[in-house]
Amino acid sequence: MSVFAFLIGALSLAAAIGVVISAKPVHSALFLMANFATLAILYVLLDAQFLAAAQVIIYAGGIVILILFVIMLIGHDPADRSQQVTWPAVASLVLGVILLASLVLQLTGRLELGGGGGIASGGSPSAVGTELFTRFLLPFEFVAILLLVALIGALIMGRRESGEPVEEPVG
Amino acid sequence: MDSNNLFLVLGALIFVVGATGVLLRRNALIIFMCVEMMLNSVNLSLITLSRMWGNLEGQIFVFVIMAVAAAEVAIGLAILIAHNRHVRNINIETLNLLRN
């Protein structure tokens, strides 16, 4: 299992790097979908079957599709690369390396904290559901309210103001 | 190397890649995707830790994080579209309305 996990993890990391370095947003979105899919495979390996299914449905099926629709509406921004000055790019790379170094420093020496472990009932939908509707019922209800508020907020944000002119089709 | 540690290291690496992407790119949509990726790497760490401790609390956290990410995407993309209606591009260099 470890070799398989290593391969899938390497694929996931490669897709993550692809998201950052792709020139076109569409390619980034497709790499993002690859990243989400490989992470879902890792979730199955980690006894989280319910979350793997939720990952595929919510992220790959919902969020990436939403992002692709927005790319379709807004389109490609040709100024993304050309306007870029070089020193902010260098500074951000340096900051990324500093973040990586601090994480490595924190992680080394502390990684012995747990061996195999494993959840007795696994992360099956019934186990997660039982936990969710007994001990974590109140957070679950708050999640419902949050999603409702987000829905209304997105509706208000996306609506055209009454005084605004109807936009002409471009191109 | 124990496979649990492998997953934790992978989560940290994907987080770093996402954070670097947020700093590096000027396209708001790609910054968005990098933020999603960072949320996902934390999800991976939480699921790994949940297995190490042998209970389901980490998985409940991940469930909540997924809902928050969905809400964030909906609002954020709506803001992007509203901004794009005014300025006609999504380069974050143009997001300087509060500067003056």
Q: How many domains does chain A have?
A: 2
- Phi and psi for B91 in degrees, rounded to 5? -75, 130
A151 against A170, higher pLDDT = A151
Give B58 to chain A, closest Cα distance, Å: 10
Instruction: Looking at the structure, tell me whether residues A1 and A62 fall in a common domain.
Output: yes
Domain range enclosing A52: 1-77
pTM: 0.86
Q: Is residue A31 part of a domain?
A: yes
Residue spans per domain, chain B: 3-92
Cβ atoms of residues B56 and B66 within 8 Å: no
In percent, the amount of chain A with pLDDT more than 70 equals 78
Domain B3-92 has CATH 1.10.287.3510: yes
CATH of the domain at A11: 1.20.120.1200
Give B42 to chain A, closest Cα distance, Å: 11
Is B56's CB within 8 Å of A128's CB? Answer: yes
Q: What is the ipTM of this complex?
A: 0.91
**Does A151 touch chain B if contact means CB atoms closer than 8 Å?**
yes
Q: What is the pLDDT of residue A82?
A: 45
Q: Is residue A103 part of a domain?
A: no
Determine the Cα–Cα distance for residues B63 and A84; give it in Å rounded to an integer.
37
pLDDT interval class at A167 (50, 70, 90): low
Locate tokens 């899938």: which residue? A8
Q: Is residue A10 part of a domain?
A: yes
Locate tokens 């899919």: which residue? A37
Cα separations in angstroms, B14 against A10, A107, B29, B63, B65: 10, 15, 18, 19, 17
